[in-house]
Structure 1
Amino acid sequence: MKRFTVSVVQFESTLGPADDGTLDRMTDAIAAADADLVVFPELATTGYHVFDDLPEVAEPVPGPTTEALGTAAADADVEVLFGMPVQDGDDVYNSAVWLDGDGDVRARYDKRHCWGDERAVYAVGDEYAVVDAPFGRVGVQICYDLNFPAASLALARAECDVVINVSAWSHTMERDWHTLLPARAVEQGAYVVGCNRAGTEAGNTFCGHSTVIEPDGTTVVELGTGPGQVAVTLDPGVVAAERERNPMRRDRPATDADATRQ
């Protein structure tokens, strides 16, 4: 891992197609970021509650949205990670897309753990995503993935230095957000970046509180409930020191044993 700066955008999306002005606001946020990586929340391009409109708002990758945001990424020479609904053949996925500094699609992660009504409209991904970025190895999660230790374990075994969770975490589940982010950092021995939505859609209020957590569970920065953008520099020395203090990665068995019925 190299020292790098991540710009976390706690975004309030507009419900509807990405070209309804949302892309313009995302492009402005990319241009404003003095960072190596800019992160937006889950389904940032369309808003979360687009279940009935997925045939109209989902796009292929590459496609118009990745082209527009790719141009912004290339102009700013910055990597970008954001959530969008992706049309892939007959299936639609709740996906996170990574654009590199040239504006090209570097990776796509399809959410593996769908929440509630998502299960009726989205296909489920079949593998976890790790990006070998210029500054280090980054694991990518989406929202509800945060609840599952096996997802975190997979990224730890892939030797990720940073885990990023792009989310549309609701106000009613806020306690879980504050509990799980530091827990995942400690068990990972990695930085954890939680980039969440702001605002209210269809009667559902998102809790905000996008947060950057050090590998020992310490909060580096935490936004409030409204839209905002903050840049944080991540230090490889912090990661190395924590893995020396708490050598979980070294001591974790290659295969965890199943519980024995008694």
Structure 2
Amino acid sequence: MSRKLEVSLAQLDFAPLAPIGNGEQLIETATSEAKNGAGLIVFPELCNTGYVEPLAPGEGFPSGAASHTEYAKQLYNAAANHDGALIKTLSAVCAHYDCHIVVGLALRSATQSGKLYNASLLLGPGGIQACYAKTHLWHNEKLYFTPGRSMPVCDIPAARIGMQVCYDIRFPEVTRCLALGGAEVVTNIWASFRHANVPLEDPDTFRHRAYTRAQENGLFFVSCNRVGRHGGMQFMGRSLVARPDGSTLAALDHEQTGILRASLALDEIAEYRMATGILNDRRPELYSAIADVAK
């Protein structure tokens, strides 16, 4: 019997430092998509807090914060706890509808006060099933977040899931490590933006990136970006799902709010990998020698 996974990618806008309103939107959307039959619902990066300020080096604080110190306090206050109401409610949605959720949150450390992660959580009927903290922090994210040190792969009923966040996609080692850990589906959640008055140079940039990571590992690559304006920046949307051969299964070719639904035929993974030998033909004994020299 063929395996399938119904996924919904929620390409949404989120308000800066507004965890209550943003949380309500997450819960409403998750409930709606779960009712619609989604087995996996994917949300973008930093849904609860919006993206960090300044959005880019040299920019100001659209929220009105007077300094990095003041903004850091506001960001920490808006972040989620592992045992907080938002995670509990989203997990209850999973339990009621027998589904799973991948959501990007600014997450407080469960053990060390004052430490934050840019996290991608896999939630299921039993609560948090896996927590991935972004390992490659982009520009000003380094001012607020601690980089992660692990790359978990987790089973859900239909597939094995690995997660990454935004900038991680530019480091092929991340997706490869997840694939070698058994991942069949890798989710990449974004808060990727451009200057609002500067057109996107290549509208297919997200397709190119997803195509490459999917094809070189023979897995489904689920790319979910946010939309909306923040200060002078425009988030670029264009969420998509790439098949194991890199071809696009489904896509939103715009920067507006929307839900992208796709059915992943998971048997395509073994078919592609057997046809190409993409994992069997690796030569790790050669790569490790070069990697040692390049450290």
Higher Rg: 2
Q: Please, which runs of 5 or more residues in structure 2 have no aligned partner?
A: 55-70, 195-199
Please name the residue that 2:236 is paired with: 207
The question of whether the paired residues in 2 share the 8 Å contact of 1:164 and 1:194 is answered with yes
The RMSD of aligned alpha carbons is: 1.9
Counterpart Cα distance in 2 of 1:2 and 1:45: 33
Q: 2:189 aligns with which of 166, 177, 183?
A: 166
**Sequence identity of aligned pairs in percent?**
29
Q: 2:105 aligns with which of 81, 84, 93?
A: 84
Q: Deviations over 1:39-92 (max 9, x none)?
A: 000011221135722121112212122022222222332111101111112311
Please name the residue that 1:236 is paired with: 266
Q: CA deviation at 1:253?
A: 2.3
Q: 1:48 aligns with which of 47, 51, 76?
A: 51
The question of whether the paired residues in 2 share the 8 Å contact of 1:11 and 1:227 is answered with yes
Q: CA deviation at 1:28?
A: 1.6
1:138 aligns with 2:138: no
Counterpart Cα distance in 1 of 2:175 and 2:206: 15
Counterpart Cα distance in 1 of 2:207 and 2:262: 19
Counterpart Cα distance in 2 of 1:246 and 1:202: 46
Please name the residue that 2:87 is paired with: 66
Please name the residue that 1:124 is paired with: 147
1:248 alignment partner, SS class:
coil
2:279 alignment partner, SS class:
helix
Please name the residue that 2:58 is paired with: none
With over 3 angstroms needed to count, the CA separation of the structure-2 counterparts of 1:99 and 1:50, relative to structure 1, is farther
Q: CA deviation at 1:141?
A: 0.3
The question of whether the paired residues in 1 share the 8 Å contact of 2:186 and 2:220 is answered with yes
Q: Deviations over 1:154-206 (max 9, x none)?
A: 11211211111011122358654332111000111101000111111122211
The question of whether the paired residues in 1 share the 8 Å contact of 2:48 and 2:78 is answered with no
1:243 alignment partner, SS class:
helix
Counterpart Cα distance in 2 of 1:120 and 1:3: 41
Counterpart Cα distance in 2 of 1:125 and 1:68: 25
Letter of the 1:26 partner, please give it: L
1:106 aligns with 2:129: yes
